[in-house]
């Protein structure tokens, strides 16, 4: 098998390419990385010297591709399927990529700040930074609320890269800063994402690992 994806089932940024693989039934060999295991970590660092996941290895083309968005770009270019995750129309593709960046930088990033702070030693926490991150999430929810009033997916009627990004971002963000009743359009969009077979499969495969998520019990 040409493609090997190095990832961890709990890592939100790893969910993005997994969704893309499942959307188009693209065959790949899954390689779960345990950075806490010396052997697994050493092997992964040979693939990704920064130690960041996900990483895609394509033996057929002799390429290693890093970063979640770039992995999906690569799949779209060299292993396309029936679901056009990045539109051929240039203007629409720019809109999709912009939405992808929004969910990564303004939903995923503050969410990870909140989660990361809970993992810190008690004398090293950053309450002010966490509150800033929560405010950023609330601001992002307000933007999404306006955007999703008349849309099915992030950029209109078709599931794209932007939805691959939105799925894990909103799933985990809702755990740390719940939508509540103030953002009904966000919740409806989130619910549609949860019903998408590709995303439902990712969540199902992550179930055994959710016990390690620090906000698992609120």
Sign of CA dihedral 146, 152, 155, 157: negative
Cβ partners under 8 Å of residue 186, min gap 6: 141, 144, 145, 148, 170, 179
pLDDT digits (tens, 9 = 90+) for 116-163: 999 899 889 999 999 999 999 999 999 999 999 999 999 989 999 999
User: Domain limits of the chain?
Assistant: 3-78, 90-196
Would you say domain 3-78 falls under CATH 3.40.30.10? Answer: yes
CB neighbours (10 Å) of residue 61? Answer: 13
Cross-strand pairs, 3? 58
Number of DSSP helices (H) and strands (E) in the chain, helices first: 9, 4
pLDDT digits (tens, 9 = 90+) for 91-122: 999 999 999 999 999 999 999 999 999 989 98
Cross-strand pairs, 64? 57
CATH hierarchy code of domain 90-196: 1.20.1050.10
């Amino acid at each position: 098998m040409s493609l090997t994806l190095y990832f961890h089932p709990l890592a939100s940024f790893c969910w993005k390419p997994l969704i893309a693989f499942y959307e188009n039934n693209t065959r790949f060999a899954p390689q779960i990385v345990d950075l806490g295991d010396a052997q697994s970590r050493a092997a992964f660092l040979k693939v990704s010297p920064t130690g960041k996941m996900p990483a895609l290895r394509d033996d057929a083309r002799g390429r290693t591709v890093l970063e979640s968005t770039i992995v999906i770009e690569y799949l779209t270019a060299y292993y396309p399927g029936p679901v056009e995750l990045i539109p051929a129309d240039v203007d629409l593709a720019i809109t999709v990529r912009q939405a992808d960046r929004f969910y990564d930088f303004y939903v995923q990033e503050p969410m990870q700040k909140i989660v990361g702070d809970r993992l810190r030693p008690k004398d090293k926490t950053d309450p002010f930074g966490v509150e800033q991150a929560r405010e950023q999430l609330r601001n992002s929810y307000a933007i999404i609320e306006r955007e999703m009033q008349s849309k099915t997916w992030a950029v209109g009627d078709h599931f794209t890269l932007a939805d691959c990004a939105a799925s894990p971002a909103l799933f985990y963000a809702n755990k740390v800063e719940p939508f509540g009743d103030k953002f009904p359009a966000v919740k409806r969009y989130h619910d549609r994402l949860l019903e998408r077979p590709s995303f439902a499969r990712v969540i199902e495969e992550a179930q055994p690992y959710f016990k390690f998520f620090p906000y698992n019990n609120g």
